Amino acid sequence: MYTKLLTKYALGGNTLVNRICLPPMAVWAATESGHVTDYILQHYSGVQGVGLAIVEATAVSPEGRLAKLQLGAWSDDHIPGLKQLATAIKATGALPGIQIHHAGRSTNREKTFGAELVAPSAVTTGQDIPMALTIAGIESIVEKYATAAARVVEAGFKVIELHGAHGYLISQFLSPTSNLRNDEYGGTLENRARFALEVFTAVKKVVGSKALVSMRLGVADSVEGGLHLGDGVQVARWLETAGADLLHISSGIGGAPQQLRLDHDDFSPLLHLAATVKQHVRIPVIGVGSIRKPDQAERALELGMADIIAVGRGILADPLWAAKAASQPASISLCRGCRPCGHFKHPFSCPARQ
Ligand SMILES: Cc1cc2nc3c(=O)[nH]c(=O)nc-3n(C[C@H](O)[C@H](O)[C@H](O)COP(=O)(O)O)c2cc1C
Ligand code: SF4
């Protein structure tokens, strides 16, 4: 029935069983040292039928943690658990991907267990004031991304997604509101994008042909003076030139600009961001944003808005969303769009799962 959504898709030497992606969504259920738990294994094993599953934001270093129970890949000790996780995802038939992440200023010292926050500039989000990174500090974080990438590849992940969206460290470098530097990492767009491209290049180098490297790129901020969509598209093009295998398009600081919403359709502003980027790059683009039903995903593909459709809360609400899309779409338990999504802290409070 859904001829585009449910058709196999060739992605960089891999064949996805369909074009449905589980986007990274943190369940905050790792140990305090960032290790995989049985709960996490069960959570990802329960998602059935997707072509690509991307594990939630996984910290590349302890001071980059966004939550106390966030997954980590900053130590070799994390590899065995991550290997179990990649294996569990493969067993569902999905290609296993993982997002690697550094929160930068968007955390606090309680969540980092006392470690000082770092950011492009000492501009606070209202939590603790971050320390502006020195050049040596930037080089050290680039290296941490690369070693974390090597670990997740060793664990068996086949898509490495760099978190470059939602106001976290890479997004902070891109945005003129959080990057006030006047050295080679600040000022012009080229300078603000330098960190993103250096992280990408360092990761690509260690990963080689063992996995695909992607970025979840926040192409537009919705704060005054923030990153414009035109500039975000340019960064997407630079990433393509640098060898990105895939791009997962989302928002930067403050979510997607609402004015992108078009009155004549029911696609979210986020999906429109992906559609815009898709017009300017040749590599595959993942689009995301408020897809609740398979019909919507099929239509977005028909319209050429993206190559792969990520279904976030839709799959939290019904982990069998993708499997049911193929057999009994009417039986999908639909996400109710609660604000905020209870899955962040209270998975069992999701009304769609009652
Ligand atoms: C519970 C929850 C956790 C999330 N965690 C992450 C994350 O770890 N990394 C990330 O890039 N986005 C994260 N997101 C954003 C989702 O990946 C997705 O972009 C967003 O929910 C929009 O898609 P949807 O409308 O299909 O839910 C999270 C969203 C939710 C609801
Ligand atoms: S808690 Fe609400 S928003 Fe989150 S998945 Fe469930 S129904 Fe959707």
The CB of 316 under 6 Å from ligand 2? The reply is yes
Q: Does some domain include residue 319?
A: yes
Domain membership of residue 69 (yes or no) is: yes
What is the rounded CA–CA span in Å between residue 299 and residue 315? 18
Torsion of CA 88, 90, 94, 96, to 10 degrees: 80
Ligand 2 atom with minimal separation from the 353 CA: 6
Give the Å distance between the CA of 186 and the centre of ligand 2. Answer: 38
What is the band of 71 on the pLDDT scale with cuts at 50, 70, 90? very high
- CA of residue 336 to ligand 2 center, whole Å: 6
What CATH number is associated with residue 181? 3.20.20.70
pLDDT for the residue 259: 59
The rounded Å distance from CA 269 to ligand 2 centre is: 19
Per-residue model confidence (pLDDT) at position 340: 76
Could you tell me the distance, in angstroms and rounded to a whole number, from the CA of residue 17 to the centre of ligand 1? 22
Q: Whose CA is nearest to atom 7 of ligand 1?
A: 25
- Residue closest to 319 by CA, chosen among 353, 279, 283: 353
Domain range for 228 is: 9-353
| pLDDT tens, position by position, 170-198 | 999 999 999 999 999 999 999 999 999 99
Pairing of strands 212-218, 159-164: parallel
Residue 329 lies in a domain: yes
**Binding site membership of 312 for ligand 1 (Cβ less than 6 Å):** yes
Is residue 99 within 6 Å of ligand 1 at its C-beta? yes
Task: Report yes or no on 107 lying in a domain.
Answer: yes
Q: 24: CA distance to ligand 1 center in Å?
A: 6
Judge if the beta carbon of residue 214 lies within 6 A of ligand 1. no
**pLDDT above 90 for 353:** no
Atom of ligand 2 nearest to the CA of 349: 1
Percent of the chain with pLDDT over 90: 90
Report the C-alpha gap between 45 and 87 in whole angstroms. 9
**Per-residue pLDDT, 337:** 87
Query: Is 44 annotated in the active site?
Result: no
Which ligand is in closest contact with the Cα of 292? 1
Range with the poorest average pLDDT among 46-60, 75-89, 122-136, 326-340 = 326-340
Task: State the pLDDT at residue 211.
Answer: 98
Alpha carbons 101 and 182: distance in angstroms, whole number: 25
Rounded distance between C-alpha atoms, residue 92 and residue 53, angstroms? 10
Contact criterion met (CB below 8 Å) for 158 and 96 = yes
Total domains, the chain? 1
Question: What local confidence, expressed as pLDDT, does residue 50 receive?
Answer: 98
Pocket test for ligand 1, best of 21, 22, 25, 28 (most atoms within 8 A of CB): 25
* C-alpha triplet 165, 169, 175: angle, nearest 5°: 70
CA of 314 to the centre of ligand 2 (A): 8
Rounded mean pLDDT of the chain? 95
Helix (H) or strand (E) holding 80: helix 79-91
**1 lies in some domain:** no
Q: How many CB atoms lie within 10 A of CB 280?
A: 13
On whether residue 258 sits in a domain, the answer given is: yes
In a domain, 3, yes or no: no
67 lines ligand 2 (CB under 6 A): no
Confidence of residue 339 (pLDDT cuts 50, 70, 90): confident
Q: Which ligand is nearest to the CA of 345?
A: 1
Q: Could you read off the pLDDT of 251-282 as tens digits, one per residue? A: 999 987 765 555 446 799 999 999 999 999 99
Asked whether residue 91 is assigned to any structural domain, the reply reads: yes
Question: Is any atom of ligand 2 closer than 6 Å to the C-beta of 337?
Answer: yes
**β-bridge mates for residue 95, sequence order:** 52
Q: Is the dihedral of CA 257, 260, 264, 266 positive or negative?
A: negative
**Length of the chain (residues):** 354
CA dist 194 to 40, 179, 227, 239, Å? 34, 12, 15, 11
In which element (H, E) is residue 10 found? strand 9-11
* CA atoms of 198 and 201, how far apart (whole Å): 5
